Amino acid sequence: MTTTELDLAVARYVSPVGTLSLVASRRGLRAILWPADSEGDQVDRVRLGKQARRSTPVLDEAERQLDEYFAGTRLTFDLLLDLQGTEFQRQVWMSLADVGFGKTRTYGEQAKRLHRPTATRAVAAANGRNPLSIVLPCHRIVGADGSLTGFAGGLETKAFLLDHERRVIGLEPRWSENRLF
């Protein structure tokens, strides 16, 4: 393991969509793992292994901003990130931050905005590997017909997040019954 891999820290974050695992390096937030994710399955994505569970300034700030997001007082995130992926994946992931709170965009629209209009499937695949759900809001990307499609946290969670954002900005929920998990 490299020094960076040995310096990862994990915090459990209890949210309305379940207990999430926040993973950080010394450089920034590296991953948000969903309840159904097992740490063993995520080794290739975040090189987590058996890292220490502890508090760090990066994790504390991520928890504070997630609290504000779920309270409806934060519309964008301002966190140090430590994205691990190809240059293309990082471009796709960072473009997610351009999708406004409470808005949606299709995979095709995202590909066009990245100046890769024929790369819809590659963009969708990169979104599927987004290690920072919610913070880099892949839940705001929908199918060409506006339907909800794949999401690591599950489609119920995607619906909850989208409707949470719609309520915060004064729109009617569209996708779910808005139950808390």
Q: pTM of the predicted model, to two decimals?
A: 0.85
Same-domain status, 93 and 163? yes
Same-domain status, 61 and 95? no
Residue type, 154: G
pLDDT value for 14 = 94
Calculated CA dihedral for residues 20, 25, 30, 34, nearest 10 degrees:
-20
3-state secondary structure of 145: coil
For residue 130, the enclosing domain spans: 87-168
pLDDT value for 157 = 93
pLDDT value for 172 = 85
CA 13, 16, 19, 23 dihedral sign is negative
Q: How far apart are CA 153 and CA 155, in angstroms?
A: 7
Tens of pLDDT, residues 117-136: 999 999 999 999 999 999 99
Average pLDDT over residues 174-180: 61
Domain assignment present for residue 79? The answer is no
- 163: Cα separation from own chain's centroid: 16
Structurally, the chain folds into a number of domains equal to: 2
In the structure, what pLDDT confidence band is assigned to residue 173 with cuts at 50, 70 and 90? confident
Active site residues: 138
